[in-house]
Structure 1
Amino acid sequence: MKQGKMADHLQSSKMRKLKSSLQQKFQCVFEGVARAGNPTLLNQIYTELYITKGGTEGVNEEHEVRQIETTSGRQAESETTIKCEDIFEISLQEPGNMRNRLPIRTVLTKGVAGIGKTVLTQKFCLDWAEGRANQNIHLLFPFTFRELNVLRDKQFSLIGLVHHFFSGLNEIRSFEHIQVVFIFDGLDECRLSLDFDQTKALTDITESTSLDVLLVNLLRGTLLPYAQIWITTRPAAANQILARYITVVTEVRGFTDEQKQQYFRRRFQDETQAIAIIAHIKASRSLYIMCHIPIFCWIAATVLEHIIKSKSRDLLPQTLTEMYIYFLVVQIKAKSLKYDGKSEVELQWSPTNIEMVESLAKLAFDQLLSGNLIFYESDLVQCGLDVDAVSSYSGVFTQVFREEPGLYQDKVYCFVHLSVQEFLAALHAHHIFANFGVNLLSTVQSSADTTPKKDFYQCAVDLALESQTGHLDLFLRFLLGLSLPTNQKLLKDLLTQTGSRSEVHQKTLNHIKQRLNEGLSTEKSINLFHCLNELKDRSLVDKIQWYVNGLQGLSTTLTPAEWSALAFLLLSMDLDVFDLKIYQASEWVLLRLMPVVKSSKKALLSTCNLSEGCCAPLGSVLSSPSSNLRHLDLSQNPIQDSGMDLLSSGLQSQGCRLETLNLSICNLSWKSGGFLSSVLCSQSPSLKHLDLSNNDLQDSGVEQLSAGLRSAGCRLETLSLSGCLVSEESGWSLASALTTPGSSLKSLDLITIFTSLCSSDFCVHSLDSNTAYRQLHLSDRTVTRVPTDINYPLHRDRFDYWPQVLCCNALSGRCYWEVEWQADWPGEKTRGVDIAVSYRSIGRKGEGGECGFGFNSQSWSLMVCYGFYCFRHNGNESRVGTFTASRKGRVAVYLDYPAGALSFYRVSKEQLIHIHTVNITFTGQLFAGFGVWSGTAVTLK
């Protein structure tokens, strides 16, 4: 056989051996008590996960359960979702990337604990081994960092490391002309030192070195540069690898709502049973949210299957605490059946089992307070655990507690999920207090005689609220749930009853409600409502539900606790669109309801008098990996440049997924053009639609924005700059951006009062003397207030009380005119002139508001006062701008009737400075009008 064919035969032979090995290793997963001998086929139980392209920069320090509770189970239509087999697809790279015709080299996949990252890698390997997908790959080598930690002090070459873990491939000495993929699962458990700056270069796959040097060079690409690498990690550890060595970032977000149902239908073959279980989980918001995590779906399935088999459907768990109590009971029963020879009906709480659970609970508590998720034999011994006993029970207790090979050849232990550790930690704290009167949560220990039981739970609430990251949130829910006598009864052989409901329960409820009224952050308040759920108290939420159902009573009379209850309730509704004005158009209310903004797809915040104070929290929402927000309308809020600066920080975040942003009439200047340019130039901008109309960006702001539009990564498709004072000079900058190769811009609205008006749009008004008030003197195009009546003829159109006049010609299309005003200003509170537009149907007779410009639905008026402007419509008045007080000035009015926009500008040295714009759907002919008060005059220019 020729040398080339021999090499191909050798490669094919080794590929078959490797596939056979991986198929045997990954074809089964172990659920329930499977390690006792009931493996489940991975292909039979596997449910597609919700995987998206993209990630967030920095580290999210929030408790992982808090993160998933703000993530909707609904799939965002615009997100790039990925299937397991497509993890190395070239199309995942950024458009415009010069490497987009080359294979993806390194993929980093993030996801919280229990979200399914490990099973995802196993499914990828199994599909390859069974010939289902990715057959272009010749050799696939999956590793876990736990396995590599064991070899930390040993030296290997890359080829030697492969031989160590895949002994059937010893004949392979080179990877030349072979497509190789390396998978490294669990970067967050890595105990190797990955120093990308100081580690020496290595290019020879046969040269031995330490594992950290080997891994750094593999990731750098100096070693085996054409290999492909896939790394999985919890988000907090992702920054161990420098961004420049990662080609694509993906994120596993667990199950969508549809995928949750698919999981339970696959787990329960009986369709009627599956439907009943899905309906039960859906009925409890807290359980349904947690099913976003695949491992919790398994916990729930384990419990519900046991209860249904025992025909005790009236005992179905309603809360998280009940779910985890039943989970523990199921595991103890399984252990009793396997190792103790007990039957299903016999007592499972033997002294040995009680001692084991108490020791595991102590370990969970001690390590939770220390922030440890992985433990060693010394930790077990310190908590009174018999290491040999733990090992002997591992066939069953692996469902609660796992044993793994670890660092320095020691065994490493961990709980199956952080939530299990937190439940057992709460169980320990409760057990110690109930049985011995010791409050482990207090820095000052006291006896049972001097520490009232109510203080124990109040202390736990206060301690959890001190945390900024929410790391005790779930612990607190479990602890309070364990305070209920009904839950204690389920663990009656393990826990001592702590007292009557009236003594403890009501005082705990009162303390939580008192804390809710202290103005806590909304995230902390929402966790307290989860706690109230565990205590089975819905009084606050039910009260707010009544308000919402009637759409009444939502006002400043609500207490902080009630506003938090509203946020909790709205989150349970999975709103697609959040409209602040439905509840109350104020910045304070927005801040209380910010988690609802975060969970919604569209937030309508226009005309809510919001300032820069809301922009930093909104920026945090935009940068959050769990945010669903895709459309944000902030129009007609005076956030100004300072607010835009704060907002741009969130918009530049890699985690930002916002696509539509409306900043029309937000009092922005040229500075905001620079902030937005930085957003468009950021690493992965998501914005597709941007409305900046009627802001004073001027030429300098637009030129800065144009630089962002020319950026290779810019994805903007529509841009509105109407009314932004853009000159012909800036038009050339925009034209340059539009012709940039690869530009995605499809629509540009450049209507401005400089570039788009033709001569017919400049209005020449004629004053209608038949409408003029008797003390208004009309001379050519000037209106002056005089002290005595003028002998005008009687006419039905004349204003008989209000000092006003209308013009003759009706307005349509686009119209522009200027008005020069004069005022003597006898006092600072003196009223000046009104510059208005009105329907012809405005009232004329009497002093009622139906006749005054801006006091009714028929007219819109800008009032010039001493040093400031006010806008009025339908009796609602707001201050919209200031100027240096003087005896005269000029105002420009621009009406775009088809677009429904009315704008006012201050004319200063031939420049227009935006004052105010209002958007209206006009329904009839409009006429210009003026209100001229004592000592004032107006002249049409």
Structure 2
Amino acid sequence: MVQKIVYDWSTGEIYRQFQFVFSFKFRELNTINCRINLRELILDQYPYFGEFLREVWKNPKGLLFIFDGLDEFKHRIDFADSRRDTEPKHQCPDPEWWCEVSDIVYNLIQHKLLPGCSVLVTTRPTALQLLENAEISVWAEILGFVGEERKEYFIRHFEDQTVAAAVFKHVEENEILYTMSYNPSYCWILALALGPFFTQRVRDPQRVPKTTTQLYSYYIYNILKNHNREIENPRDVLLRVGQMAFTGVSEKKIVFTDGDLIKYNLHPSQFLSGFLMELLEREDSARCVVYTFPHLTIQEFIAAVAQFLNPHPEDILKFLTEAHNTTDGRFEVFLRFVAGLSSPMTARGLEEFVGPFPHETTCRVIDWVKEEVKRQSGDMRSDAGKRSLLNTLNYLFESQNRGLAQASLGSVERLSFRGMTLTPIDCAVLSRAIGLCDTIKQLDLECCHIQCEGIQRLGPGLHKCQDLRLGENKLGDSGVKLVSAALRNPECKIQKLWLWDVGLTDSDAEDLFFALSANPSLTELYLGSNLLTDRSVPALHRLILTHPTLEQIGLDWNPFSENGRMELESLQETRPGLRVDP
């Protein structure tokens, strides 16, 4: 992305207000272990500027500094620490002032160095909290593929369009895999792992990956299958690669050197190149080769495999507990993979090359997941508690263990994520959890920023709840139609339905009321603060006449006319015990 920004600027397509753009990678800034100034920092990468820099400083508004990959920076920049503004050792008043690299970046972002210049910082979400107190004027999230672009990726990836269509169909029908496919890197992994299943003559639909752990398991399986003859003991090498990967996850490290390979007794080889990519990086004035996994999630998966293959099963609980108690999210995906590897179906392919996964480790992981879900389901008061519970529900989904889900959630009657932003993947995992457990009576998802795709992922599980709260989400017409589809399910148990401020219009209200009329259990309906007008009154009247169990309807803050409100109030007279709040 950064390369494209610089290229588009250089060709005059964007950012024409900037005379110069200076781009730095935090990964390369890590190699600077001494005090330096901005002038030397620039000349290290752009030596042809020379003395001309003094002219550049005269017009700061014409400068754009790009710092790429804050999550890879080994030095912490704390924007909440007021001492950075008062202590002389952290100050950097001009481009030729000698200080630490972190102080140069801090002072540029806070407009204390070259005030008037612009600074663009990129980071993975894991380091976003570092910027919460920074002087940031614009935030942007890279969303990746939208709509048909996901399908287009697979069409372009595979020469055989029959295979492309089959792979995309499988992805589209699997809510977890489909919600991953907004990310081009995930699409690449999906294509590599799923492709062989749809090119083989003998296909086994039951073995096609359905969870992220299964997907990555087959990604690694294909590497082992193609390279296993090149090495005597694949299990031993995978264990050592995984240990290095785990250290990287622990230390937020994604770039490894020859020194790291030596530490774990690894040697560059064709086999190892299946796991690691070689990159040419700058180090002082020389060039050196460094290594990185093709994607952070691949590093996290191999780290999880290594912990599972650890010859000391008793160690796994220590790793799980310490990782789960880490609050910055660095182990979030790693833990999902560990839980997923407890599934025999997931581990089966890898066992062909690395031998059996320890049964004792599997039992310990399952017991840990069960106790963790039970513990987290009792703490839904704070945002942190809600997020922890959602993470543990991911463990349940990845394990694909119905018995484990029922044992963990068997006593849970209420799930509340009110006020917490839920992604489509979160919604898909939540739907699966509800589907695995029959005891959940109330589901509160008010103010969760759920839009149409989120409701689509939740759809299969909504009808199982007795009390469903979806207020203050931007469902729109399409989202309301999906809710109506859940209400038409013959096994629908919904008794109380809250659709406060969801963008409900007259046209969709009629479809909603028709769906509700087929639901014999409904007692309370709340539709306040929507876009209903007098046009919806006849449909409401029909709903009341055909629904003897309905006790209360909330309609306040809808744009009814005075006559419409009077007509709504008169509906109460049609049946004793009914309360209508217009």
TM-score by length of 1: 0.40
1:147 and 1:371, CA in 2 relative to 1: closer, same or farther beyond 3 A?
Answer: closer
Residue 480 of structure 1 contacts residue 531 of structure 1 at CA under 8 Å; is this kept in 2? yes
Do structure 1's residue 326 and structure 2's residue 218 form an aligned pair?
yes
Letter in 2 for 1:261: K
The one of 69, 80, 92 equivalent to 1:186 is 69
Residue 43 of structure 2 contacts residue 50 of structure 2 at CA under 8 Å; is this kept in 1? yes
C-alpha distance after superposition, 1:130-183 (max 9, x if no partner): 45444454332221111222224152443x433321234447342246833221
Measured after TM superposition, the shift of residue 512 of structure 1 is 6.1
Partners in 2 of 1:202 and 1:511 — Cα distance? Answer: 50
Partners in 2 of 1:322 and 1:218 — Cα distance? Answer: 45
Letter in 2 for 1:289: T
Q: Which residue of 2 aligns with 1:287?
A: 177
Measured after TM superposition, the shift of residue 472 of structure 1 is 4.8
Letter in 1 for 2:52: I
User: How many residue pairs get matched?
Assistant: 461
Do structure 1's residue 141 and structure 2's residue 17 form an aligned pair?
no
1:40-55 matches, within 5 Å, as none
- 3-state DSSP of counterpart to 2:354: coil
Q: Which residue of 2 aligns with 1:701?
A: none
Q: Which residue of 2 aligns with 1:428?
A: 306
Q: Which residue of 2 aligns with 1:898?
A: 563
Measured after TM superposition, the shift of residue 599 of structure 1 is 2.9
- 3-state DSSP of counterpart to 2:114: coil
1:284 and 1:486, CA in 2 relative to 1: closer, same or farther beyond 3 A?
Answer: same
Measured after TM superposition, the shift of residue 269 of structure 1 is 5.4
1:572 and 1:560, CA in 2 relative to 1: closer, same or farther beyond 3 A?
Answer: farther
Residue 365 of structure 1 contacts residue 422 of structure 1 at CA under 8 Å; is this kept in 2? yes
Residue 331 of structure 1 contacts residue 396 of structure 1 at CA under 8 Å; is this kept in 2? yes
Residue 374 of structure 1 contacts residue 412 of structure 1 at CA under 8 Å; is this kept in 2? yes
Letter in 2 for 1:421: Q
Do structure 1's residue 442 and structure 2's residue 317 form an aligned pair?
yes
Partners in 1 of 2:368 and 2:130 — Cα distance? Answer: 42
Measured on the aligned residues, the alpha-carbon RMSD in Å equals: 5.5
1:155 and 1:468, CA in 2 relative to 1: closer, same or farther beyond 3 A?
Answer: closer
Q: Which residue of 1 aligns with 2:121?
A: 231
1:32-431 matches, within 5 Å, as 120-158=1-39, 160-170=40-50, 172-173=52-53, 174-175=55-56, 176=58, 179-192=62-75, 194=77, 195-198=84-87, 204-205=94-95, 210-238=100-128, 240=130, 243=133, 245-268=135-158, 270-305=160-195, 307-308=197-198, 313-314=203-204, 316-332=208-224, 336=227, 347-348=228-229, 350-351=231-232, 353-368=234-249, 380-382=261-263, 384-386=264-266, 389-390=267-268, 396-399=274-277, 414-431=292-309
Residue 275 of structure 2 contacts residue 294 of structure 2 at CA under 8 Å; is this kept in 1? no
Measured after TM superposition, the shift of residue 418 of structure 1 is 3.5
1:238 and 1:208, CA in 2 relative to 1: closer, same or farther beyond 3 A?
Answer: same
C-alpha distance after superposition, 1:595-625 (max 9, x if no partner): 894534699xxxxxxxxxxxxx99xx99xxx
Partners in 1 of 2:94 and 2:332 — Cα distance? Answer: 50
1:796-811 matches, within 5 Å, as none
Structure 2: gaps (5+ residues): 78-83, 381-385, 432-439, 456-468, 478-499, 505-526, 531-543, 554-560, 575-582
1:514 and 1:240, CA in 2 relative to 1: closer, same or farther beyond 3 A?
Answer: closer
1:519-530 matches, within 5 Å, as 519-520=377-378, 527=391, 530=394
Residue 152 of structure 1 contacts residue 192 of structure 1 at CA under 8 Å; is this kept in 2? no
C-alpha distance after superposition, 1:900-930 (max 9, x if no partner): 27xxxxxxxxxxxxxxxxx94535999xxxx
- 3-state DSSP of counterpart to 1:140: strand
Structure ranking higher in strand proportion: 1
Q: Which residue of 2 aligns with 1:474?
A: 333
Q: Which residue of 2 aligns with 1:819?
A: none
Measured after TM superposition, the shift of residue 378 of structure 1 is 6.1
- 3-state DSSP of counterpart to 1:279: helix
Letter in 1 for 2:43: H
1:549-564 matches, within 5 Å, as 559-560=410-411
- 3-state DSSP of counterpart to 1:385: coil
1:351 and 1:261, CA in 2 relative to 1: closer, same or farther beyond 3 A?
Answer: same
Partners in 2 of 1:540 and 1:397 — Cα distance? Answer: 32
Letter in 1 for 2:87: Q
- 3-state DSSP of counterpart to 1:252: coil
Q: Identical aligned pairs, as a percentage?
A: 23
Residue 485 of structure 1 contacts residue 497 of structure 1 at CA under 8 Å; is this kept in 2? no
Residue 332 of structure 2 contacts residue 391 of structure 2 at CA under 8 Å; is this kept in 1? yes
Structure 1: gaps (5+ residues): 1-119, 337-346, 444-458, 544-557, 579-587, 604-616, 632-657, 663-690, 694-717, 719-856, 859-872, 879-895, 902-918, 927-941
Measured after TM superposition, the shift of residue 273 of structure 1 is 3.3
1:576-591 matches, within 5 Å, as none
- 3-state DSSP of counterpart to 2:66: strand
Partners in 2 of 1:322 and 1:426 — Cα distance? Answer: 13
Do structure 1's residue 594 and structure 2's residue 477 form an aligned pair?
no
- 3-state DSSP of counterpart to 1:250: coil
Residue 286 of structure 1 contacts residue 530 of structure 1 at CA under 8 Å; is this kept in 2? no
- 3-state DSSP of counterpart to 2:30: helix
Letter in 1 for 2:265: L
Partners in 2 of 1:877 and 1:245 — Cα distance? Answer: 49
Letter in 1 for 2:445: M
Residue 238 of structure 2 contacts residue 306 of structure 2 at CA under 8 Å; is this kept in 1? no
- 3-state DSSP of counterpart to 1:229: strand
Measured after TM superposition, the shift of residue 326 of structure 1 is 2.2
1:692 and 1:327, CA in 2 relative to 1: closer, same or farther beyond 3 A?
Answer: closer
More displaced stretch, 134-143 vs 520-529: 520-529
Letter in 1 for 2:231: S
Partners in 2 of 1:512 and 1:202 — Cα distance? Answer: 49
Residue 223 of structure 2 contacts residue 274 of structure 2 at CA under 8 Å; is this kept in 1? yes
1:412 and 1:318, CA in 2 relative to 1: closer, same or farther beyond 3 A?
Answer: same
Partners in 2 of 1:148 and 1:925 — Cα distance? Answer: 75
Residue 394 of structure 1 contacts residue 403 of structure 1 at CA under 8 Å; is this kept in 2? no
Letter in 2 for 1:320: T
1:488 and 1:598, CA in 2 relative to 1: closer, same or farther beyond 3 A?
Answer: same
1:282 and 1:464, CA in 2 relative to 1: closer, same or farther beyond 3 A?
Answer: farther
Residue 571 of structure 1 contacts residue 596 of structure 1 at CA under 8 Å; is this kept in 2? no
Measured after TM superposition, the shift of residue 209 of structure 1 is 5.2
C-alpha distance after superposition, 1:696-736 (max 9, x if no partner): xxxxxxxxxxxxxxxxxxxxxx9xxxxxxxxxxxxxxxxxx
Letter in 2 for 1:283: E
Partners in 2 of 1:875 and 1:276 — Cα distance? Answer: 46
Residue 449 of structure 2 contacts residue 474 of structure 2 at CA under 8 Å; is this kept in 1? yes
Residue 180 of structure 2 contacts residue 425 of structure 2 at CA under 8 Å; is this kept in 1? no
Partners in 2 of 1:565 and 1:215 — Cα distance? Answer: 41
C-alpha distance after superposition, 1:441-460 (max 9, x if no partner): 235xxxxxxxxxxxxxxx96
Letter in 2 for 1:230: L
Partners in 2 of 1:191 and 1:499 — Cα distance? Answer: 36
1:783-862 matches, within 5 Å, as none
C-alpha distance after superposition, 1:641-675 (max 9, x if no partner): xxxxxxxxxxxxxxxxx99899xxxxxxxxxxxxx
1:628 and 1:379, CA in 2 relative to 1: closer, same or farther beyond 3 A?
Answer: farther
